[in-house]
Each structure stands twice: as structure tokens, then as C-alpha cells.
Amino acid sequence: MKKSITTKEIIQKALVAGVIALSMSIIGFIALLGERELVKGWFSLGHVFLIAAPLAIAYVTVENMTHENNAKTLGVGFAIGAIASVPLILLAYIAVAVDIRQFLSNVSPALIELLTFGKDATTGSIYLLLLFGATGVFAALLNILPARVRHPLVIALAWMIGVATFSEILLGRLRSLLSRDLIKTIFAGKTLNPAFAVGVFLVALLITILWDAIGGSVKEKVAAFNPVQKKTMSAGKSLVVMVVILFLPLILGSYLSEVANNVGLYILMGLGLNIVVGFAGLLDLGYVAFFAIGAYVMGVLTSQGALGLDAGFNFWTALPISVIVATLFGIILGIPVLGMRGDYLAIVTLGFGEIIRVIAVSDLFKEIFGGAQGILQIPKPNFFGTELVQPGQLYYVILGGVLLALFIATRLRDSRLGRQWMALREDEDVAEAMGMNLVNTKLMAFATGAAFSGLSGAIFASKLTSIFPHSFNLIISINVLALIIVGGVGSIPGVFIGSLILVGLPELLREFAEYRMLIYGTLLIAMMLFKPEGFLPDQRRKRELKAEAELDGVEG
């Protein structure tokens, strides 16, 4: 419903935006991102996040109000932006006047410099006010502009910021390929040159405009293909994807392969937890326990250190044992919780995860698991005589695991068991009344989930060559939960997307890694509020959520 907007509403919305920007500043997020300069001498990632809240709120507000004339709309945008800057201006003045750092350790000189653009408080405040005002105007302008102008503009801006954000990684990959002079024209230090940034912007703009103009007809042509052509095309697509995945380490280089490996391990865990939480609807917060068990079994069986069994196990013979032990533990820990539902199940599984970790840290099994010191000297996997030391080589081990898990998860989803899981998720009582064996169905879910996690843990142990109980804390469970929620609960492609976003991105941006848990928390809340089905939703789950919401709405 569009309605005209009152002054009070404008001030309210603007202050919300201002407080969000202020919060991001005083926890040190903005200052840390400020260290990542995007375009030499222009702006940093800190600026982007600083104006993000006023931009978003101004845009939403303008969109929801009645549009009388352009001047008024732009004025509202300006007002929201300008008022939003007030809390930050106050912060700048306070920080100049008193030593606020003894209370809020992250209100650093770097932050104040970023907020006041290196000027004194008054000049800086005016700049900040104007910047925020301009942001608001820009948001309002985006709203007024017709879609054919807005779309290319937004896409081009996103490309420019994206390329600039990852310029360091880009530089790392391009350095060996391009000549020194070319590198110098593109990059200034680790950041982009303004000229090149503008170039990226323009190219993206042009391509998007072109695509908007002719994209429709291309799509139509593709849609008009006959079945044989379509088949060839989808086969071609799969082939390209397969080739890319197969040769990914060559494209990525060593550092990015390492990132890909971590993403892969989380995909493995995500596929497992997706079965437990996504398919069967059993919220498990102690999922890290099976990861730990897989890792410890691998460690104990293969370690060449003092704690190893030295029974002639290598990676390949120990791997199935790790998976089997993790699976058994999945069943053992599953039995006591068979009767529990929803939140009780969540908190008990959380308890299990902690019990396993605390026992591993304690002196109870120190002779076997090494207590707090963990297990060292775990050999890397060996493949026909070559030790897989490089991340690019380990990649294939993890890829194998992921493909296997992917195959199993997909087949299970479409099997009788998979349908039973979903029936369980939808309504446990009805499922039981239909004659379903709840005990077996639940235990199968726990066991399969634990097996994937155990596999991931075993590879993890071998990849790191040493394991410490402190690596297996609750945060891993929450990470995995967050990634399947972001991707879409119950959706297998969602696990991949979720892992890329939540595990891959923070590894590429150290700054994000530091605030990782804060971002996860925010994401969990935001997803539940605005997009509970996730970014790549499973169709069936989406319908279910909708139906449940409707039903509950009726009941009260």
C-alpha cells in the first residue's frame, strides 16, 4: 500500500538508518573495511558499508510512498540521508572532545578519519552530511528512474564494486599472465586505478544495456529450439561445468584452491545436515560432534606421532572406518533423542556436541586423544605413491567426497526413504498414523547425516595433519546450519550456494572473517524474517512453509 509520508516517519526511518550505520561504526566493522581501499584515492569498502543502511532504507521508504512529483521524492531521499548522518556526526564530535576509546575500544582514530574524511570535525561533518544526503537522493533517483535505466546502472555499479573488492586476488592471479605495464595501468598498489574502475563500470553498463535490448530475442530463440537442439545445449552446458570443476585448481591457483577445499568440506557437512534438518526436519545443533569423531578416528588410526595406533592404516583404509564410526555414533546419539521434537531436540543435540568436545579436551582419554594438545603428525592422503600435499591435489579428494555425497543425497531425496523424511518433517503424527516407522526413519537421517560429517572430518584431519579439540566447537555447527538456511532448507543446490557465500567469501575477505559470527547471526535473523525459504529454495519446502504460515495464521 502506497501512502503519503509524514515528517515523523521520515525522521524515524532516517534515525533507524543512522543508528545502524553508527552501530556498524562503533563495533569497528566500518573502520576495518575502510582498510580495503576499492578505488585508489576514491573510496574504500568501509564507505560502501557506511552508506548501505541509509541507501537501503531511503530506497524502501521512497518505494512505499505515494509519488507526487520528482522534486518532493528526491527531497524525501535527501532528508532521510541527511538525518541519518546525525548520529555519526555526534560520534565524531564526541570522539574529538573526549577519549571514548577507554569505553568503546573500536572507536579508533582511523574510524574518525574515515567519518570526517580526514578534515576537522566541523568540515568533516558537513561532508558526511552531504554524502549521506546524496546517498538518499541517489536512492530516490533509482526509484524514479525507469527500469531500463536503473537496471544497467545498478548492475554496472555492482560489477565495479565487486571487481574492486576482489582486486587483490585478481592481482595475484593476473600478475603472472599480464605484462608489468598493463598491471600498472589496472592496479595502483593492491587497489584499482580510477581509470580502470570507470572502465569496468562502463563496460558492464554497455553489456547490460545491450543485453537488455537484445537479450529477450535471444532467449526467445533458445526457447524455440527443437528438443534435439535443447538436449545438445544442456549437454554442452554440463560439459563446460564439468570441465571447469575438473580443472578448477589450475584456474584458481594454490591459495584459492585452499579456499575451495574449505568450501568443499563445508559442502560435505552441509549435504549431511541438510538431510537431518532439511529433509527430516530434525534440528541438530550438535552436528560438529560427528565431524570431530571422523577427524579423531582418522587421527588415531593414521597418526605417526606418539598417539597413533601404528597399525598400518593409511588415509584410504582409515577413511571408511572413520565414516563407519561416525555413522555408528549418529545412531547411538540418535536413539536417546528419538522421542524429542523441535527445540528440545535442538538443545539436547547441542549438549551432545559439547559433551564430545569437553571429553576430548579433558584428561579422561588423554592417552588416546591427546587431551587439549590434540593429535599431531597425521599423514596427508597418498595417491599411488604421490603424497597429496598441494591444496590443488587435495581438491580432488574433496571433490570425490562431495560428488559421492551429492549422488547419495540426491538419490535418497527421490527415494522412498526421502519421501518418508519429508513426511516426517511435515507432520510427525500424521506420518506415524500412515504406518511409517518413525524409529528407522529418524535413525536413518541421523546416520546418513553423521556419515557425511564424518567423511568431512576425516578429510579435514588429513588435510590439516593435526587436530585440536578446540577446532570442534559449536561455531562449526552454527556455520553449517547458517549455510543451509541461507541456501534454502532442504535444497541441495542451496548447500553449494550457501557454502560459497558463507565459507568462501569470508576466506577471501579477511575483514569479513573477523566479523563472521556477527554476520551469520544477522543473516539467520534476516533470512527468517524476510526469506525463510532461502535463496535457492526447494519447491516442496517452500509450499510447506507457506501452508504452515497460513494455517497458523488461522489458528492464531
Partner 1 sequence: MQERIKQIDFLGLVLWIFRTAIIVSMLWGTIATLMDNPYSARAWTDTIVAGIAQGSLYALIAIGYTLVYGVLFMINFAHGEFFMSGIMTATIFIAQPMSASGYLDRHPVIGITVIAVVTMLVSVGIANLTERIAYRPLRGAPRLVPLITAIGASFFWQYFFQGLYGSEVKAFPQIEVIVGKVNIAGIEILKSQVIVIIVTILMLAGLYFFVVKTKTGKSIRAAAENKDVARLMGIDVDRAITLTFTLGASMAGIAGVLYALVFRQIHFFMGFFPGIKAFTAAVLGGIGSIPGAALGGLFLGIFESVGPGLFLEGLGVPSPHQLKDVIAFTMLVLVLIFRPQGILGEALAEEKA
Number of residues that bind partner 1 (CB under 8 A): 63
Helices and strands, counts by H and E, the chain: 27, 6
Q: Does 481 bind partner 1 (CB under 8 A)?
A: yes
Among 350, 388, 451, 492, binds partner 1 (CB under 8 A): 350
Element (H, E) at 442: helix 438-464
Among 118, 189, 320, 339, binds partner 1 (CB under 8 A): 339
Answer yes or no: are the C-beta atoms of 380 and 302 closer than 8 Å: no
Answer yes or no: are the C-beta atoms of 353 and 470 closer than 8 Å: no
Among 42, 225, 316, 344, binds partner 1 (CB under 8 A): 344
Among 342, 383, 389, 410, binds partner 1 (CB under 8 A): 342
CA torsion 490→491→495→498, rounded to 10°?
-100
Answer yes or no: are the C-beta atoms of 326 and 293 closer than 8 Å: yes
Nearest-angstrom CA–CA distance, 511 and 520: 14
Among 185, 437, 510, 513, binds partner 1 (CB under 8 A): 437
Among 239, 335, 389, 513, binds partner 1 (CB under 8 A): 335
Strand ranges inside 28-110, DSSP E: 37-39, 43-44
- From residue 3, alpha-carbon distances to 60, 63, 64, 254 in Å are 13, 10, 7, 55
- From residue 539, alpha-carbon distances to 68, 426, 429, 491, 551 in Å are 40, 14, 23, 8, 18
Among 396, 524, 535, 536, binds partner 1 (CB under 8 A): 524
Kindly identify the residues of this chain, within the stretch 12-71, that bind partner 1 according to CB under 8 A. Answer: 23, 26-29
Residue 248 three-state SS: helix
Question: Residue written as cell 584428561?
Answer: 363
Contact string (CB under 8 A) for partner 1, positions 140-179, x = contact: ----------------------------------------
Q: Does 528 bind partner 1 (CB under 8 A)?
A: yes
3-state secondary structure 354-422: HHHHHHHHCCCCHHHHCHHHCECCCCCCEECCEECCCHHHHHHHHHHHHHHHHHHHHHHHCCHHHHHHH
Kindly identify the residues of this chain, within the stretch 217-246, that bind partner 1 according to CB under 8 A. Answer: none
Contact string (CB under 8 A) for partner 1, positions 351-370, x = contact: xx-xx--xx-xxxx-x----
Q: Which is nearer to partner 1, 48 or 289 (by Cβ)?
A: 289
Among 222, 238, 518, 531, binds partner 1 (CB under 8 A): 518
Measured from the Cβ of residue 336, the count of other Cβ atoms closer than 10 Å reads: 10
Which part of the chain contacts partner 1 (CB under 8 A), choosing from 99-107, 191-199, 244-252, 398-406?
Answer: 99-107
Q: Which is nearer to partner 1, 17 or 140 (by Cβ)?
A: 17
Nearest-angstrom CA–CA distance, 393 and 384: 13
What is the smallest separation between the CB atom of 520 and partner 1, expressed in angstroms? 6
Backbone angles phi, psi at 175, to 5 degrees: -55, -40
Q: Does 525 bind partner 1 (CB under 8 A)?
A: yes
Q: Does 393 bind partner 1 (CB under 8 A)?
A: no
Q: Does 460 bind partner 1 (CB under 8 A)?
A: no
Residues that bind partner 1 (CB under 8 A): 23, 26-29, 103-106, 281, 283, 285, 335-344, 346-348, 350-352, 354-355, 358-359, 361-364, 366, 437, 439-440, 478, 481-482, 485, 515, 517-518, 520-525, 528-529, 532, 545, 548-549, 552-553, 555-556
